[in-house]
Amino acid sequence: MTNLDRRAFLGTLTTAGLGAVAGCTNSGQTETNMKYKTDGNEKQLRQAATTYLTKATLYKAPNCMCCEGHKKYLESTTDVDMSVRDIDDLMKVKSRFDVPKKLVSCHTLDTGKYIVEGHVPREAIGKLALEKPDILGIALPKMPAGSPGMGGEKTEEFVIYAMEKDGSYRKFMTI
- Residues 32-72 have pLDDT tens digits of 445 565 566 777 887 888 877 888 999 999 999 999 999 99
The 3-state secondary structure of the chain, one letter per residue: CCHHHHHHHHHHHHHHHHHHHHHHHCCCCCHHHCCCCCCCCHHHHHHHHHHHHHHCEEEECCCCHHHHHHHHHHHHHHCCCCEEEECCCHHHHHHHCCCCHHHCCCCEEECCCCEEEECCCHHHHHHHHHHCCCCCEEEECCCCCCCCCCCCCCCCCCEEEEECCCCCEEEEEEC
Range of the domain at 168: 3-174
Most confident of the ranges 2-16, 23-37, 149-163: 149-163
- Measure Cα distances from 44 to 3, 39, 63, 147, 159 in Å: 60, 11, 34, 21, 21
Range with the largest mean pLDDT of 36-40, 50-54, 75-79, 153-157: 153-157
pLDDT above 70 (res 6): no
Structural domain total, the chain: 1
pLDDT tens for 88-139 read 999 999 999 999 999 999 999 999 999 999 999 999 999 999 999 999 999 9
Check pLDDT > 80 for residue 76: yes
For 137-150, what is the mean pLDDT? 96
Q: What is the pLDDT of residue 39?
A: 62
**Dihedral angle computed from the Cα positions of residues 28, 109, 71 and 75, in that order, rounded to the nearest 10 degrees:** 130
How confident is the model over 158-169, as a mean pLDDT? Answer: 97
The pLDDT value recorded for residue 80 is: 87
Residue length, the chain?
175
The model carries a pTM of: 0.79
